[in-house]
């Protein structure tokens, strides 16, 4: 039920969805005053949620603060959600948040993590794809030994990621206080860390220093379509965090 609820909510919080609804109402309604108000409201929402400067201000408040990464963590736990549902072992279609996988490869090669645990099934109501298994094969092809990669392929949300990872590692290392570096996208880190802190694992976030945001007058004045999508992701995380609180997952 919660999984279905989260998918419906993800659709409803899309700013572009509401812009389209408001513009549509401004066309079909007969009362001129109401038509005008809906049009103006839709236009204002479009301007606000396509503005890079406003988005960056809010997003910076949400991100987990930078922590210097220490070496020799027992595991780097990579959260899934970075490949398309049509992906197969011999044809992986990566999404925009594949930084999770690239960061894990770099951390392993530099000795910050000894082993890797990939967690995640498909995150879909209809797909039977096992993302963790597909990504494991990819990591093996990059040169990481099979013996250094574990998978957890039953979880479909962040809470299940945490619970199932704890179970997987406890089965292999019972009563061991493992040090685990959590590797996920920056916008997803706050909810992820809150979930993993409910487990008995010793977890630390992999974060990067905030990049200097170049002052670009064009981005402040001219609406950016890609920012609409980023707002949807940010809203999804904030509402997801609050929902987890309500359901007792955090």
Whether residue 172 is predicted with pLDDT greater than 60 in this model: the reply is: yes
Angle subtended by helix axes 225-247 and 189-196, to nearest 10: 20
Average pLDDT, the chain: 87
H runs (alpha helix) in 110-215: 131-141, 158-172, 189-196
Lowest mean pLDDT among 1-5, 72-76, 114-118, 141-145: 1-5
pLDDT of residue 114: 95
Name the band, by pLDDT with cuts 50, 70 and 90, for residue 222: confident
Per-residue pLDDT tens over the stretch 8-59: 666 778 898 899 999 999 999 888 899 999 999 999 999 999 999 899 999 9
Give the domains, in start order, of the chain with CATH numbers.
2-63+222-247 (no CATH), 73-205 (3.40.50.620)
Across the range 222-232, mean pLDDT stands at 89
pLDDT of residue 63: 92
Measure the CA–CA gap between 164 and 180, rounded to whole angstroms.
14
Per-residue pLDDT tens over the stretch 51-63: 998 999 999 999 9
Across the range 136-151, mean pLDDT stands at 93
Across the range 195-200, mean pLDDT stands at 93
| Closest C-alpha to 179, from 159, 199, 204 | 204
Across the range 215-244, mean pLDDT stands at 85
Whether residue 160 is predicted with pLDDT greater than 90 in this model: the reply is: yes
pLDDT of residue 220: 75
Instruction: Report residue 179 as tokens.
Output: 């040090």
pLDDT of residue 179: 93
Q: What is the dihedral of CA 129, 132, 137, 142, to 10 degrees?
A: 130
SS3 for 76?
A: strand
Angle subtended by helix axes 225-247 and 158-172, to nearest 10: 60
Instruction: Report residue 130 as tokens.
Output: 């096992």
pLDDT of residue 121: 75
Per-residue pLDDT tens over the stretch 79-134: 988 888 777 777 888 888 888 999 999 999 999 999 999 998 765 545 566 888 88
The partner residues of 91 in beta bridges, in order of sequence, read 88
The partner residues of 205 in beta bridges, in order of sequence, read 182
């Amino acid at each position: 039920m919660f999984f279905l609820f989260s998918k419906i909510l993800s659709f409803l919080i899309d700013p572009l969805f509401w812009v389209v609804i408001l513009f549509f109402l401004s066309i079909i309604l007969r009362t001129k005053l109401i038509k005008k108000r809906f049009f103006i409201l839709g236009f204002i929402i479009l301007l606000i949620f396509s503005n890079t400067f406003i988005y960056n201000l809010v997003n910076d408040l949400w991100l987990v603060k930078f922590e210097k990464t220490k070496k020799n963590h027992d595991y780097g736990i990579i959260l899934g959600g970075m490949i398309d549902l049509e992906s197969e072992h011999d044809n992986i279609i990566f999404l925009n948040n594949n930084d999770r996988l690239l960061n894990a490869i770099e951390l392993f090669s530099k000795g910050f993590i000894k082993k890797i645990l990939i967690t995640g099934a498909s995150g879909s109501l209809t797909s039977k794809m096992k993302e963790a298994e597909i990504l494991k094969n990819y990591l093996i092809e990059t040169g990481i030994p099979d013996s250094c990669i574990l998978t957890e392929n039953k979880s479909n949300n962040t809470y299940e990621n945490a619970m199932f990872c704890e179970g997987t590692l406890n089965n292999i290392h019972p009563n061991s206080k493992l040090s685990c570096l959590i590797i996920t996208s920056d916008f997803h880190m706050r909810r992820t860390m809150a979930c993993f802190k409910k487990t008995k694992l010793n977890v630390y976030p992999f974060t990067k220093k905030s990049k200097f945001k170049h002052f670009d007058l064009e981005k402040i004045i001219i609406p950016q379509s890609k920012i609409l999508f980023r707002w949807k992701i940010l809203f999804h995380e904030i509402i997801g965090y609050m929902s987890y609180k309500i359901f007792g997952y955090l």
